[in-house]
Amino acid sequence: MGAWGIGHWLVVGVLVILLFGGARFSNMMGDVAKGIKQFKKGMAEDDDAPPPSRIEGKAAPEPAVEHEAERTAEKR
């Protein structure tokens, strides 16, 4: 009782296609597939990034950035 069988899902599928139309439903599924591909591509790009370098269990210090104001103050 309450279990959805294959017959119920077929009826739901036919109703969805009738409501949205075949072309619109096909376009929606194509957009979903493109989104999944972009997600997988983004996840693969994250895997390619090198891990941050470690020094004795701590993160490596970031290189110092000299700002324009500091350079002019030192020249005075």
| CB hemisphere CA count around 37 (13 angstroms) | 6
pLDDT digits (tens, 9 = 90+) for 1-43: 567 889 999 999 888 888 878 788 788 889 999 999 999 988 8
HEC readout, 23-74: HHHHHHHHHHHHHHHHHHHHHHHHHHCCCCCEECCEECCCCCCCCHHHHHHH
21: three-class secondary structure by DSSP: coil
What is the distance between the alpha carbons of residues 62 and 55, in angstroms, rounded to a whole number?
12
Q: What is the pTM of this model?
A: 0.39
Residue boundaries of the structural domains of the chain: 22-48
